[in-house]
Amino acid sequence: MQGICVPILCVCICVTVLLRSAISQPRSESDTYTECTDGYHWDPQTEHCKDINECETIPDACKGEMKCFNHYGGYLCLPRSASLIPAPEPSITPAEPLNPCPLGYEPQGNSCVDIDECERHEHDCQPSQECINSVGAFTCQCPDGYRKVGTECVDIDECRYRYCQHRCVNVPGSFSCQCEPGFQLAGNNRSCIDVNECEMGAPCSQRCYNTYGTFLCRCDQGYELGPDGFECKDIDECSYSSYLCQYQCVNEPGKFSCVCPEGYRLLGTRMCQDINECETGEHECTETQNCVNIHGRYQCVDKNGCQEPYIQVSDNRCVCPVNNPACRELPFSIVHRYMSITSERSVPSDIFQIQATSVSARAYNTFRIRSGDENGDFYIRQINNISAMLVLARAVSGPREYTLDLEMVSINPLVNYQNNYQTSSALRLSIYVGPYTF
């Protein structure tokens, strides 16, 4: 008998291995004793030495997480997760006559020839093992993925040797490698290579960018990524700010655009500019009318705007003859002017300057709003003796039209010392308030 200590899975496993002649120990005719080797006891019924099951006779034969497995002439302590193929109980054959040949041979005539134990099934290999005959002996070979411990085949945990790049799954007799999401097994079935999800139909609705082990979805300008990380939805830029466009913002897929009201055109991308229909010819004024451009539209006014008792002396100037009694309380002349302002203009705001074209020596001039400002939306600020400024006093909203008579009253004491000779002239200013603030 030989005693061998074999390290298995970092645990020392003591195995008692018997020589072939010691597996079953029948006594010969000359035997007169009943003693057996270690690990066996004498069975008087069969008159043979029988294996002792130490796992049953020795209390706590294996410590810790180790499990006891009985073995011929001894026992094994293996991890509880170990996979074993149990060996069949050896059969006890009747004592054979004395063989003069060495072990593993048999006499044939005057010589000894090798016994093929594998062919005769005179071996103790497990059913899962392959018996390989050799000269004078045989060996039991375990299947792939197992290694032999004594007479047992124990599964090899290949995952302990880090064969796989990512994950290893051990199975009895083999193993398999698995990759993390975003990777796939390479041709060697061990390494993991990145999967280009963008080329394999990634669910990105617009742009896909492959990264190591995963992918990213991105959106075109004017879109934003949805909560699922795949779909792109349009950004409603118009809802973010009311200052994107001067008039109106129109949301479109992936962008926005600015539009202007009728009578305006887009200046750049967001500003609105009044169209001067009088310059472009886009008006319907007749030959007897003048085209006056105002914010968002135009106005046709008669070239002769003089009313009785005034008579026209030029395109925009009317005079009241001094010899006409009806002209005594009226300004001597009226000049027609036209202008346009935007709605909600900041106030006070200077909007029109009045300038005397001719004055008499030593004359004293004053300026006033003669008519047309019933609500007090305007006032006159005199600058000097010959000029004044019309000021918008209150913010006004359009569309709206004012017709103001701005009068300059001249007093000349040299002409009439006692009566202080007084004359006046007026500027009839038509003010058109546009509908918008631009």
| pLDDT reported for residue 402 | 97
- Give CA–CA dist 269/258, Å, rounded: 7
- Backbone dihedral angles phi then psi of residue 239, each to the nearest 5 degrees: -80, -10
| pLDDT reported for residue 85 | 67
| pLDDT reported for residue 78 | 86
**Helix (H) or strand (E) run with residue 112 in it:** strand 111-114
| pLDDT reported for residue 38 | 86
The most distant pair of C-alpha atoms in the chain lies apart, rounded to whole Å, by 182
- Cβ contacts of residue 375 below 8 Å, gap of 6+? 394
- Give CA–CA dist 214/70, Å, rounded: 52
| Short-list 401, 345, 344, CA closest to 372 | 401
Burial of 308 (0-12, 13-18, 19+ CB in 10 A): exposed
| pLDDT reported for residue 23 | 36
Beta strands 333-341; 421-433: pairing state: parallel
- Give CA–CA dist 16/6, Å, rounded: 10
Burial pattern 37-70, b for ≥16 Cβ within 10 A else e, equals eebbebeeeeebbebbebbeeeeebbeeebebbb
- Give CA–CA dist 364/366, Å, rounded: 7
Answer yes or no: are the C-beta atoms of 21 and 48 closer than 8 Å: no
Strands of 238-277, DSSP E: 248-252, 255-259, 264-267, 271-274
Amino acid in the structure at residue 348: P
- Give CA–CA dist 293/300, Å, rounded: 9
Answer yes or no: are the C-beta atoms of 185 and 177 closer than 8 Å: yes
**SS3 for 41?**
strand
For 386, the token pair is 């010959």
Tell me which residue has tokens 């990524």: 225
pTM above 0.75, yes or no: no
Burial of 187 (0-12, 13-18, 19+ CB in 10 A): exposed
pLDDT in tens, the chain (438 residues): 333 333 333 333 333 332 233 333 344 444 445 778 888 888 888 778 888 998 889 888 898 888 888 888 888 888 877 766 665 555 555 555 677 888 889 888 888 999 999 999 988 888 888 999 999 899 999 998 998 888 788 999 989 988 899 999 999 989 999 999 999 999 999 999 999 999 999 999 999 999 999 999 999 999 999 999 999 999 999 999 989 999 999 999 999 999 999 999 999 999 999 999 999 999 999 999 999 999 999 999 999 989 999 999 988 999 999 899 999 889 999 999 999 999 999 999 999 999 988 777 778 899 999 999 999 999 999 999 999 999 999 999 999 999 999 999 998 776 555 455 678 999 999 999 999 999
Eight-state DSSP code of residue 277 = H
| Domains contained in the chain, CATH given | 111-154 (2.10.25), 157-194 (2.10.25.10), 197-234 (2.10.25.10), 237-274 (2.10.25), 305-433 (2.60.40.60)
- In DSSP notation, 115-126 reads --HHHHT-S---
| pLDDT reported for residue 1 | 35
- Cβ contacts of residue 403 below 8 Å, gap of 6+? 372, 428, 429, 430, 431
Burial of 175 (0-12, 13-18, 19+ CB in 10 A): buried
- Backbone dihedral angles phi then psi of residue 69, each to the nearest 5 degrees: -125, 120
